[in-house]
């Protein structure tokens, strides 16, 4: 495998060069972080509170793939898949004609503070910028029509998110606190970020 650093400096990668997503847990409690792709099944990692991390190699082509987490000490993919619809998602499309795309989606739900960074890129806004979403108190935030999920995700369901193409009272509640995120199915203006292929990324819980 060629050097990741060389790959990033050249701003392009071939199929033999591995790019990475570094998943970090800065939450005080232990969490489980999971990843899944169109070509691979769910993998989950137990990350200790305050310093746990896991680097995953995604290559130069990783279409339609996601990272999520939940507050439990379980590396079991079954638990991970059960938590997925109760969690906010870091979504990636790596290597789309020389361009990467990434976003944070709360279309289904929100459960943990999350940040995505394009490592080593001097970007801003949707051009290699940083995305953040944090809701300090999910229980008090989660008002009708949205509802608490319970375990294992321990989040708040975005009741209207999956079934609307326009803002509603329920989706707007999420947009008010996390304006950079996708809150309903067609909410893609200013919420999908791009960076050139050859970039490594970082997903931070409780940034």
| CATH code at position 157 | 2.60.110.10
pLDDT of 9 > 50? The answer is no
pLDDT at 136: 92
Of 3-7, 25-29, 146-150, which gets the smallest average pLDDT? 3-7
Residues in CB range of 5: below 8 A, 6 or more apart: none
Quick check: 97 and 173 in contact, CB under 8 A? no
Total tally of structural domains belonging to the chain: 1
pLDDT at 160: 98
pTM score, two decimals? 0.90
pLDDT band at 18 (very low <50, low <70, confident <90, very high): low
Higher pLDDT, 127 or 97: 127
Higher pLDDT, 61 or 112: 112
Return the C-alpha torsion angle 175, 125, 136, 157, nearest 10. 40
Quick check: 88 and 112 in contact, CB under 8 A? yes
Mean pLDDT, residues 177-191: 97
Give the structural domain span for 43.
4-205
Mean pLDDT, residues 135-144: 97
């Amino acid at each position: 495998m060629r050097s990741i650093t060389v790959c990033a400096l050249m701003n392009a990668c071939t199929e033999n060069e591995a790019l990475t997503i570094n998943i970090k847990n800065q939450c005080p409690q232990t969490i489980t972080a999971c990843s899944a792709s169109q070509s691979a099944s769910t993998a989950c990692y137990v990350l200790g509170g305050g310093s746990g991390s896991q680097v995953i190699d995604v290559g130069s082509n990783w279409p339609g793939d996601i990272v999520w987490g939940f507050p439990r000490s379980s590396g079991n993919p079954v638990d991970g898949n059960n938590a997925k619809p109760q969690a906010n998602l870091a979504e990636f499309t790596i290597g789309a004609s020389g361009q990467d795309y990434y976003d944070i989606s709360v279309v289904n739900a929100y459960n943990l503070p999350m940040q995505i960074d394009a490592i080593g890129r001097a970007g801003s806004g949707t051009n290699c910028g940083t995305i953040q979403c944090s809701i300090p108190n999910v229980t008090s935030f989660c008002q009708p029509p949205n509802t608490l999920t319970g375990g294992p995700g321990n989040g708040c369901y975005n009741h209207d998110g999956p079934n609307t193409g326009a803002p509603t009272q329920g989706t707007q509640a999420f947009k008010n606190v996390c304006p950079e995120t996708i809150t309903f199915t067609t909410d893609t203006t200013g919420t999908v970020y791009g960076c050139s292929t050859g970039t490594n990324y970082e997903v931070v819980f409780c940034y």
